Amino acid sequence: MMRTLLATLLLVFVQTAQAEEVLLERIVALVNDDVVLSSEFEAELASVRQNLEQRNVDMPPASELRQQVLDRLIVQTLQLNVAERRGVRIDSATLDAAVRRVADRNRLSLTQLRDALSERGMDMAAFRDQLRRDIVTQRLRRQVMNQRVDVTEQEIQQFIERNRSLDRDYRLSQILVSLPEAASADAIEAARNEAQTVIERLEDGESFARVATAASDARNALEGGDLGWVPASQLPTAAADAIRELEPGERTAPLRTPAGFQIYRLEETRGSGQEMVEQARLRHILIQPNEVVSNEDARLRLQSLRSRLQGGGDFADLARANSDDPTSAGDGGELGWVDPGSLPDAFRTAVTRLEPGEISEIFRTRGGWHIAEVLERRERDTSETIAREEAEQAIRQRKSEEETELWLRELREEAYIEKRLGNG
């Protein structure tokens, strides 16, 4: 009895100590029913400072940088709350694959990645958690934008007509002074004055990246406003027209856009020429393993069909009688004109070197066992198809960028947020 009582008292003591330890950690912001802890804030601040140093960006004033970092964590917390309500999450396998991709991009093994993180003061568990949050927020934004953004046929046609001559890509940086969707006249005037203050800081000699880090409302503020390479066709018309007149190193005046007032700096320009696409007209026969036909039976059956073709059998007749592909069997196995780059790896490998009229060896994809024949090859100017696809993608991308900023602002305006960050 005494031993049980002692164990219970010890458990209570440990739990109380742990609770007091949690309570001792300072809260730097309240976000609805959630909190941002000082440990999260300091870790993010250290990461941002290190990133700015690596990018050779002059460090903005400490108070401005601290506020920007806190704002980022608040917005991230709001998005994670929405993601949780919507059931947006990732499993361990997906997260493991994402970690491996990061390692591969940096040409590191997982052990080397762990060592590199340790040198930056971050352990693998913290890195995985940050990566998980990034992936969840990306998936959430994609889901929300799919619901909020629509592209019409008229917009696509107008875009194609307006941008036929646009064949340039721009490497850009931006500073955004954001505005809500239905801003009052006073709010617009205040934002315009804030944008003018940004211009004055730039004219006084502060670097664009430093001012962007300190003052921009855009999601890439803490990357110095770097947008990377952007096709001219993806820019709002007013921005594309203004940037076209710039030389590298120059910037635009504040431009009124749906997101607010945006200032762009042109870093580099390059051409974006169109390429011809090689296509092949293909036909195939597919045999699928199932409960009755084993994998080996399917392979042997296809090997027999290939022997009959080599002996003069008619491909179309054999496809109609034997292929398990319901889409192409009735057409004698014809797949039409195909860009080999869009085929599964095994299929592409099997047909890449075939001459017209030549039949492949048998090969396996996830769909089953195949043999294929190349009927013709051609180089195709797919400009109209490509133009439509690029137009829709560009319009959707531009709308999504604008709509994301508006949506994030709505989240902030609708939330209860209390900042408890000192000037430390």
One-letter-per-residue 3-state SS of the chain: CHHHHHHHHHHHHHHHHHHHHHHHCCEEEEECCEEEEHHHHHHHHHHHHHHHHHCCCCCCCHHHHHHHHHHHHHHHHHHHHHHHHHCCCCCHHHHHHHHHHHHHHCCCCHHHHHHHHHHCCCCHHHHHHHHHHHHHHHHHHHHHHHHHCCCCHHHHHHHHHHHCCCCEEEEEEEEEEECCCCCCHHHHHHHHHHHHHHHHHHHCCCCHHHHHHHHCCCCCHHHCCEEEEEEHHHCCHHHHHHHHCCCCCCECCCEEECCEEEEEEEEEEEECCCCCEEEEEEEEEEECCCCCCCHHHHHHHHHHHHHHHHCCCCHHHHHHHHCCCCCCHHHCCEEEEECHHHCCHHHHHHHCCCCCCCECCCEEECCEEEEEEEEEEEEECCHHHHHHHHHHHHHHHHHHHHHHHHHHHHHHHHCCEEECCCCC
- The answer to the question of residue 368 being in a domain is yes
Can you tell me the distance from the alpha carbon of 231 to that of 153, in angstroms, rounded to the nearest whole number? 21
Residue-number span of the structural domain to which 303 is assigned: 277-380
Tens of pLDDT, residues 371-381: 999 999 987 75
Cβ-defined contacts of 323-330 (< 8 Å, 24+): 323/284, 323/285, 323/286, 323/287, 324/286, 324/287, 324/288, 324/368, 325/284, 325/285, 325/286, 325/367, 328/283, 328/284
- The answer to the question of residue 231 being in a domain is no
pLDDT for the residue numbered 233: 75
Question: Averaged over 225-237, what is the pLDDT?
Answer: 85
pLDDT for the residue numbered 66: 92
Band (pLDDT 50/70/90 cuts) for residue 10 is very low
Q: Which of 261, 219, 148 is nearest to 409 (CA)?
A: 219
pLDDT for the residue numbered 255: 92
Predicted TM-score (pTM) of this structure: 0.54
Tens of pLDDT, residues 45-68: 988 888 888 888 888 899 999 999
- The answer to the question of residue 357 being in a domain is yes
- The answer to the question of residue 319 being in a domain is yes
Q: Which residue has the higher pLDDT, 29 or 389?
A: 29
Pair of tokens at residue 259: 């997101």
Q: Is the pLDDT of residue 205 over 60?
A: yes
pLDDT for the residue numbered 37: 92
Mean of per-residue pLDDT scores for the chain: 85
Pair of tokens at residue 338: 């195909």
- The answer to the question of residue 300 being in a domain is yes
Tens of pLDDT, residues 313-325: 999 999 999 999 9
- The answer to the question of residue 65 being in a domain is no
- The answer to the question of residue 256 being in a domain is no
Share of the chain above pLDDT 70, in %: 89
Question: Averaged over 277-303, what is the pLDDT?
Answer: 89
Number of domains in the chain: 1
Q: What is the CATH number of the domain that holds 360?
A: 3.10.50.40
Tens of pLDDT, residues 74-131: 999 999 999 999 998 888 888 888 888 888 888 888 889 998 888 877 889 888 998 9
Question: Averaged over 155-170, what is the pLDDT?
Answer: 74
Tens of pLDDT, residues 36-45: 999 889 988 9
Band (pLDDT 50/70/90 cuts) for residue 308 is very high
Q: Is the pLDDT of residue 12 over 60?
A: no
How many residues belong to the chain?
424
- The answer to the question of residue 423 being in a domain is no
Band (pLDDT 50/70/90 cuts) for residue 163 is low
Question: Averaged over 181-203, what is the pLDDT?
Answer: 90
